[in-house]
Amino acid sequence: MNHMWKFSVRRMLIIIPQLLLLSLLVFLMAQAMPGDALTGQINPDLDPQEMQEQREELGLNDPWHIKYADWITSAVRGDLGQSFQFKMPASELIWNRMVNSFWLGVATLIITYLLAIPLGITSGRFNDSLLDSSITGYTYIGFATPIFIFALVMLWIFGYQLGWFPTSGSVAPGSDPGTFEYIVSKINHLLLPAISLGLITTVNTVQYLRSEIIDTKQKDFIITARAKGASESRVYNRHIFRNSLLPIAAFFGFEITGLIGGTVFVERIFGYPGMGDLFIQSVLLRDYTVVTSVVLLFGLASILGALISDIILSLVDPRIRIK
Amino acid sequence: MEKKNEQEYTEQSGQTSKANEDGLSILGRELIRDKVALISLILLIVVVAIVYGTSIIMDKDEIVKVDLFAIHEPPSDEFILGTDYGGRDIFGQLIIGTRNSLSVAFLVTLMTGLIGVIYGLVSGYYGGHVDNAMMRILDFFLILPFIMVVIVFVSIVPKYSVVSFSLIMTAFLWMGIARLIRSKALQERELDYAQASKTLGSSNIKIMFKQVLPNLSSLIIVTMTLNLAANIGLESGLSFLGFGFPESTPSLGTLVSYATNPTTLEDRWWIWVPASVMIFVLMLAVNNVGQALKRATDARQRRG
């Protein structure tokens, strides 16, 4: 247990330089982008002299390290600056989108694991059977299909041709928050994007689980369990699955980084108002405060995801701690 | 997710380094024995030959010329695959787009391979504090949200071109292969041959690049093949979002992106389906070849 704490503390210390580097990178990106807080509010009556004074007042002429310090202190307080386009605080704009993206992420993860666990287990248990070849074939195709093409095809078939799912938005217009219809409509809008993303992201986990089970099958403790007369189902349910599922559970934090990339495409294609969609929209509108804020938040999410996974992994696999 | 695959890979190939005396010829032999991979390889060679061959004789200006009298034409004798919203020939764009997408994917794969191999070799070979510091830097790159960081750079780089696009992609994609090479280099440097060479007074550079590197060649080829497939997907994905190839340069992702218009998605299949199929076939074929090579480097899975 002592090792465990040491590892966790050491691992948590690593995120300090990571956060610092991330914030510096995002800050430099923001500096490299054309325009500043005043560009959006150009008032034709304002003469250049006054503009200069305002710039001075807002600290836009300060040296970079002071600007960085100002920016990071307000970011920590939750003030991410003003959106040029929507004339409202970026944090407010992001909040609603973040909730939508969060639910999309949760739904995708649920679908990913709902598919991966039975498929991976079947494939690993009956390896080299016809069933295994079909599942492996599916993972090969999944690896070769970019999410944006798959999502388009899903939208085409289930959204337009069959009309089973809505083709854009996150909720039917006119439904009141809190009502039963509202929740149903939310889920209905969520399902097709989540299924599309889940069907592709799951192939990694299926492959991993399969090879994990095939490896475990030949280990000594499994042979011992069989020799002691444990039934085949007991061997699988109690010994093999438990051993193979733990690392899968631990990888869920890393999954977050992968999901972020996927949501950009899926939200764009299904017109789902989440952070990924907001990001692309803001880049196109040159709304740079929003752009940098989104990158910062997604970076933060990946850092935390990796942290969670590393700590769970060290719980599961003592070899990692001893290093 | 990459982490899992690499880990799995390292485990599998752990035993092969000894029997590596002619690693490359084993790769070749296994590839020919594997029917799916062989068909994929032949298909790839045919596509590459057609695409690079015909794009030389094609008149590029003719293809990207806007023709307002031929907007959204369905496939016909004049336009084999119809036209887009500017009356431009889809078939020509498909050929040139495939060539452009493949070229960038090749370039990015080579550049990330070069950076990754050198970075991984140095980090793994020296070990200790050097390795520790280099791995922390790598970890940082790994947590960056790739798509978004690339999009931001694409939108702020002045005089944006195909070259700057490839460089931006490379800057955030070298980590996977670097980590893999590093973990192998850590093992290799402990082996007798490396230790003996060191005792005999060989320079570190010589041991790294002349002695350790050749032993990792099959690993590098496998990883770069799989990366090539991934890079085709990433490039077309970025072009799909509008942050890949500069405007007016035909690319597969741009053709697919026309399908974000519901009318095109439903009624004008000839614009987006051929490009989608092309991306899928290219990625599947390259992946098949890569997976076959990967199996070939694993003595346990080799067919004999």
Chain A interface disruption, residue of B4, B43, B235, B294, most A CBs within 10 A? B4
Task: Record the pTM.
Answer: 0.84
Question: What is the model's pLDDT at position A319?
Answer: 62
Question: What is the model's pLDDT at position B14?
Answer: 44
* Residue B233 pLDDT > 80: yes
CA atoms of B230 and B175, how far apart (whole Å): 14
Domains of chain B: 25-58+73-299 (1.10.3720.10)
Do B283 and B233 touch, CB atoms closer than 8 A?
A: yes
Question: What is the model's pLDDT at position A194?
Answer: 92
In chain B, residues with a C-beta closer than 8 Å to the C-beta of A265 are 237, 240-241
Do A11 and A314 touch, CB atoms closer than 8 A?
A: yes
Tracing tokens 């970079």 back to the chain, one arrives at A64
Asked which of A64-68, B194-198, B221-225 is least confident by mean pLDDT, the reply is A64-68
For residues A1-18, give the mean pLDDT: 80
Is A127 within 8 Å of chain B by CB? Answer: no
What are the structure tokens assigned to A32, written together?
Answer: 């490299």
CA atoms of B88 and B215, how far apart (whole Å): 50
Chain A / chain B CB contacts < 8 angstroms? 132
For residues A88-106, give the mean pLDDT: 86
What are the structure tokens assigned to A160, written together?
Answer: 């337009």
Domains of chain A: 2-321 (1.10.3720.10)
For residues B109-134, give the mean pLDDT: 93
Mean pLDDT rounded to a whole number for chain B: 82
Write out pLDDT tens, residues A274-296: 899 999 988 888 888 888 888 98
Q: What is the CA radius of gyration of chain A?
A: 25
What are the structure tokens assigned to A164, written together?
Answer: 């089973």
| Contact yes or no for A251 and B276 at CB 8 A | no
Per-residue pLDDT band for B279 (boundaries 50, 70, 90) equals: very high
* Residue B111 pLDDT > 90: yes
* Residue B274 pLDDT > 50: yes
CA atoms of B253 and B231, how far apart (whole Å): 12
Task: Give how far Cα A206 sits from Cα of A72, A113, B13, Å.
Answer: 41, 9, 20
Do A91 and A293 touch, CB atoms closer than 8 A?
A: yes
Residue partners of B73: CB distance under 8 A and separation at least 6 = B79, B82, B83, B87
| Contact yes or no for B152 and A295 at CB 8 A | yes
Write out pLDDT tens, residues B54-110: 877 776 666 666 666 666 667 766 666 667 766 677 788 888 889 989 999 999 999
Which of B146, B149, B284 minimises the CB distance to A144?
B284
Asked which of A97-111, A231-245, B145-159, B211-225 is least confident by mean pLDDT, the reply is A231-245
Chain A interface disruption, residue of B40, B132, B148, most A CBs within 10 A? B148
CA atoms of B4 and A250, how far apart (whole Å): 11
| Contact yes or no for B3 and A254 at CB 8 A | yes
Question: What is the model's pLDDT at position B12?
Answer: 45
Do A128 and A136 touch, CB atoms closer than 8 A?
A: no
Nearest to A75 by CA among A302, A300, A259: A300
CA atoms of B285 and B38, how far apart (whole Å): 9
CA atoms of B231 and B111, how far apart (whole Å): 12
Write out pLDDT tens, residues A156-181: 888 888 878 777 777 777 677 777 77
Is A64 within 8 Å of chain B by CB? Answer: no
Q: For residue A207, give how far its alpha carbon lies from the nearest alpha carbon of chain B (Å).
A: 9
Which residues in chain A (254-313) have CB-CB distances under 8 A to chain B?
Answer: 254-255, 257-258, 260-261, 264-265, 268-269, 279-280, 283-284, 291-292, 294-295, 298-299, 302-303, 306
CA atoms of B257 and A152, how far apart (whole Å): 10
Per-residue pLDDT band for B3 (boundaries 50, 70, 90) equals: very low
CA atoms of A171 and B190, how far apart (whole Å): 60
| Contact yes or no for A22 and B148 at CB 8 A | no
Write the DSSP string, A157-175.
Answer: IIIIIS--S-SS-SS-TTP
Per-residue pLDDT band for B172 (boundaries 50, 70, 90) equals: very high
Question: What is the model's pLDDT at position B231?
Answer: 93
| Contact yes or no for A264 and B279 at CB 8 A | no
| Contact yes or no for B1 and A204 at CB 8 A | yes
Task: Give how far Cα A32 sits from Cα of A52, A256, B84, B145, B197, Å.
Answer: 20, 28, 35, 19, 49
Which of A140, A160, A306 minimises the CB distance to B287?
A140
Write out pLDDT tens, residues A190-234: 889 999 999 998 998 898 888 888 888 878 888 888 888 778 777
Is A22 within 8 Å of chain B by CB? Answer: yes
For residues A28-37, give the mean pLDDT: 73
Chain A interface disruption, residue of B44, B143, B227, B247, most A CBs within 10 A? B143
* Residue of chain A whose alpha carbon sits nearest to that of B290: A140
What are the structure tokens assigned to A273, written together?
Answer: 């108002």
Is A140 within 8 Å of chain B by CB? Answer: yes
